[in-house]
Amino acid sequence: MTDILIKNLPIIVVLCPLITSLFVVLIPNIFFSWVLTTLSTFLTFLFSILLYQEIQIHSYISYALGKWMPPIGIEYIIDKVAIIPVIIISGISLIATIFAYKIMPEEIEKKSISKVYSLWLLAIAGLLGLVTTGDAFNLFVFLEISSLASVALVAMGAQKDKQALVAAYNYLIIGAVGATLYVIGVGLLYGITGTLNMEDLTNRISDLNNNKALIAGFGFMIIGIMVKAAVFPLHIWLPRAYAYAPSAVSVLLAATATKASLYILARILFSVFENSEDLINNTLLYVILPLSIIAMFAGTIMAIYEKDIKRLLAHSSVAQIGYITLAFAIGTKASIAAGFIHMFNHAIIKGGLFIAITSLGFYIQKRITINNLSGLGRTMPITFFCFVLCSLSLAGLPLTAGFISKLYLIKATISSDSIWIAILILISSALSVVYLWKMIEVMWMREGRKIVIKENPTIYLSLIFITFLNIYFGLDASLVVDGSFEAAEKLIEDLK
């Protein structure tokens, strides 16, 4: 029994939320649909932990779907790289689901809650499928499953604010164009190589250096994925979608959705196209590096001038994605590892910040702008204490997870002889303190109303847990750092 389970783990991780999503929609009761969703995400997390242990032993698992052997059949690949986003997505979705229990019925009418949970699980399944699949076209299908489910989830925010509809619409259109561009790229590659399996694609590409269709296909794929990952000029959909989505959905999307696409970006750059070195080096140097540096500053400056807190956090996400792509763009082993470290840490930091801000929205029942934060630091000490800790982690103060990622990022830039990039990173981090301080100042220094708000344990428990993770991975980062370095080694080994 356990043998069969272990053998089929790569597909079970994806199927577990996918199948439960079909059952959740049938349950009319809010509580039981939540219980089933939690159970499903918990099992998914458990399976990904099992998968992590398997990876420590075998370091590479290839699963042939339906016993059709790759490269003809669809293959699911879990290796030391893929396990990082799997753990991030399943872990964060468990925390977000527990958090959703109290928040969800506040913002969505009772009769549609079970449907929302169904979409919720569908989005998680799509994201997990995205990172586990080893087939380029299968990847597109999961890309669309996750993004259609997320669009519908964002649109559920319309009961609170009608702008959610426009946000969801823009997300849908931009996302669909991105996914279609990706399909064009896959089509061109299929036309010249005759395969869709990523590993097979890697081998067959090696004979085709400087083929124009190859370069065009690569461009289409990269741009398509960059849209989904919200890399700088293609990030337009992100702030609105995160700001107007229902609170629990913002937590889920902010912490997981772009991470999966960033992982796909890394995989296309360093694994699928490993044999076209000129192409990759030029792309990294002339496209991704400048865009990431602009993203770091543009995102931060937009955040400084923003007054709506959820949008502010979304703009800051754009900047943080900039750090991750910057780390990939430098292209050394240490920097790619730093990218993965920051991917993990950013998931727990942004998850924590969004949970803190949206539980605040639960208490004040309106859109959260900088003005109505005033004085709330004293009336809701637990929420704000966690909020401040997560903010410090985002700014990169020592003893927090954010510090570890900044440390490794700067170490990597210095060791690759690009001091000026390290300086730019430091400046942008310093600027991020401006918008964080702006919020903290209003909360703690300004006089608020003299009322006591009783904080709800079901809400702050998940917040405390995620804040604890921020501190824990700041004190003992060996788990994340080792995992990331192993992943980077795997990718670089591919590249050489």
Closest separation between CB of residue 235 and another protein, Å? 17
Nearer to another protein, 78 or 257 (CB): 257
Closest separation between CB of residue 174 and another protein, Å? 9
Q: Note the helical H segments in 287-418.
A: 289-305, 309-330, 333-364, 376-379, 381-395, 401-415
Closest separation between CB of residue 455 and another protein, Å? 9
Nearer to another protein, 360 or 386 (CB): 360
Nearer to another protein, 211 or 372 (CB): 372
Distance, in Å, from the CA atom of 217 to the CA atom of 200, rounded to the nearest integer, reads 16
Closest separation between CB of residue 204 and another protein, Å? 15
**Chain position carrying tokens 């920051």:** 342
Nearer to another protein, 4 or 452 (CB): 452
Closest separation between CB of residue 69 and another protein, Å? 16
Binding interface with another protein (CB under 8 A): 106, 137, 140-141, 144, 148, 151-152, 155, 158, 162-163, 165-166, 168-169, 172-173, 176-177, 179-180, 183-184, 187, 190-191, 194, 196, 307-308, 363-367, 369, 371-372, 449, 451, 453-454, 456
8 A C-beta contact, residue 116 and residue 106: no
Handedness of CA 316, 296, 298, 173 (dihedral sign): negative
**Chain position carrying tokens 């081998």:** 203
Nearer to another protein, 159 or 203 (CB): 159
Residue 324 burial class via C-beta count within 10 angstroms: exposed 0-12, middle 13-18, buried 19 and up: buried
Nearer to another protein, 27 or 314 (CB): 314
Q: Which two tokens stand for residue 235?
A: 């990030």
Closest separation between CB of residue 238 and another protein, Å? 17
Q: What is the DSSP letter of 62?
A: E
Distance, in Å, from the CA atom of 315 to the CA atom of 311, rounded to the nearest integer, reads 6
Inter-CA distances, 346 with 338, 356, 396, Å: 12, 15, 11
Closest separation between CB of residue 80 and another protein, Å? 30
Nearer to another protein, 18 or 284 (CB): 18
Nearer to another protein, 50 or 370 (CB): 370
8 A C-beta contact, residue 21 and residue 36: no
Closest separation between CB of residue 191 and another protein, Å? 5
Reference 227, options 184, 265, 280, 282; nearest CA is 265
Inter-CA distances, 291 with 252, 320, 326, Å: 26, 13, 8
Reference 266, options 318, 212, 229; nearest CA is 229
Closest separation between CB of residue 181 and another protein, Å? 9
Closest separation between CB of residue 302 and another protein, Å? 15
Inter-CA distances, 484 with 257, 270, 334, 440, Å: 19, 15, 9, 32
Nearer to another protein, 454 or 496 (CB): 454
φ/ψ (deg, to 5) at 375: 75, -5
**Chain position carrying tokens 């993004």:** 147
Nearer to another protein, 204 or 367 (CB): 367
How many CB atoms neighbour CB 62 within 10 A? 15
8 A C-beta contact, residue 78 and residue 61: yes
Distance, in Å, from the CA atom of 46 to the CA atom of 13, rounded to the nearest integer, reads 9
Distance, in Å, from the CA atom of 74 to the CA atom of 76, rounded to the nearest integer, reads 7
Distance, in Å, from the CA atom of 176 to the CA atom of 186, rounded to the nearest integer, reads 15
Closest separation between CB of residue 450 and another protein, Å? 11
Reference 50, options 19, 75, 18, 86; nearest CA is 86
Nearer to another protein, 154 or 326 (CB): 154
